[in-house]
């Protein structure tokens, strides 16, 4: 997260190509995307954040990315109030700081909005519009997977599994990301329920591939770290 004005990088296509180069794990800094922070021209917002993926596409929202942007603003002493409002392509999001340390670690409550499960909002193409896409049988390369899909700033598709090792989840995630029924592509989250208090995840992120965690599936709270 830096001021790119001096570099002449401004157009969306140029920003996408910059993200592709800087996120390259072999020839760049490496990463799952970039967050560009600037003063917001949107009424009711303090700053504006744009998110670009390593494949050069622009995302509407990144839960982890926006929390990192919030942490950056506090770390650089560009913002100090208890509440911070960031405008994104998915609307204005509220961040309330709960903890901070001298080491630059921050804990925020994040209000990213309510999930939407209807097919039009996701968006997901189905034979007829659906109010809730839950346990929908999605055909993928001759296989059928019961999926739950939702919109949470970005399209998300969840598959519940019993054993990650018994499933080629990377191959399946890659295929579902670009599935024709998701016109804007989708994140794919594989979920294993351990018990009522613990779940394990594997994530195939839209425009990124395999990644560590999904910030928009846990919209109530989260941490942004500037390590």
Alpha-helical regions (H) of the chain: 12-22, 63-75, 169-177
Decide if 30 contacts 62 (C-beta within 8 A). Answer: no
Question: What mean pLDDT comes out for the span 135-149?
Answer: 96
Q: How many CB atoms lie within 10 A of CB 183?
A: 12
pTM: 0.78
Please write the tens of the pLDDT for every residue from 149-205.
Answer: 999 989 999 999 999 999 999 999 999 999 999 999 999 999 999 999 999 999 999
Q: From residue 170, how far is each of 18, 22, 48, 139, 143 by CA, in Å?
A: 26, 24, 33, 16, 15
One fold for 5-112+217-225 and 136-151+155-205:
yes
CATH topology for the 5-112+217-225 domain: Diaminopimelate Epimerase; Chain A, domain 1 (3.10.310)
Please write the tens of the pLDDT for every residue from 59-104.
Answer: 999 888 999 999 999 999 999 999 999 999 999 999 999 998 877 8
**Would you list the domain boundaries of the chain?**
5-112+217-225, 136-151+155-205
CATH topology for the 136-151+155-205 domain: Diaminopimelate Epimerase; Chain A, domain 1 (3.10.310)
Decide if 207 contacts 31 (C-beta within 8 A). Answer: no
* DSSP state, residue 82: S
Backbone angles phi, psi at 224, to 5 degrees: -110, 130
Rounded CA-CA distance 110/98 in Å is 10
11-25, 143-157, 202-216: least confidently modelled range: 202-216
């Amino acid at each position: 997260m830096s001021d790119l004005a001096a570099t002449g990088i401004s157009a969306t296509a140029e920003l996408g190509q910059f993200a592709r180069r800087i996120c390259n794990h072999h020839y760049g800094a490496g990463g799952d995307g970039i967050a560009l922070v600037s003063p917001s021209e949107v009424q009711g917002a303090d700053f504006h954040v744009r998110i670009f993926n390593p494949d050069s596409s622009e995302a509407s929202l990144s839960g982890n990315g926006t929390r990192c942007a919030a942490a950056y603003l506090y770390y650089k002493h560009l913002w100090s109030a208890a509440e911070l409002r960031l405008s994104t392509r998915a609307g204005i999001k509220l961040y309330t700081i709960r903890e901070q340390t001298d080491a630059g670690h921050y804990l925020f409550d994040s209000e990213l909005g309510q999930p939407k499960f209807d097919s039009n909002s996701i968006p997901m193409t189905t034979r007829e519009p659906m109010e809730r896409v839950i346990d929908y049988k999605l055909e993928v390369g001759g296989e059928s997977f019961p999926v739950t899909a939702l919109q949470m700033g970005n399209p998300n598709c969840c598959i519940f599994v019993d054993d990650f090792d018994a499933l080629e989840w990377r191959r399946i995630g890659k295929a579902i990301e670009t599935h024709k029924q998701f016109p804007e592509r989708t994140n794919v989250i594989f979920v294993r329920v351990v018990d009522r208090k613990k779940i394990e995840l594997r994530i195939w992120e839209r425009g990124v591939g395999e990644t560590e965690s999904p910030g928009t599936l846990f919209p109530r709270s989260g941490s942004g770290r500037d390590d």
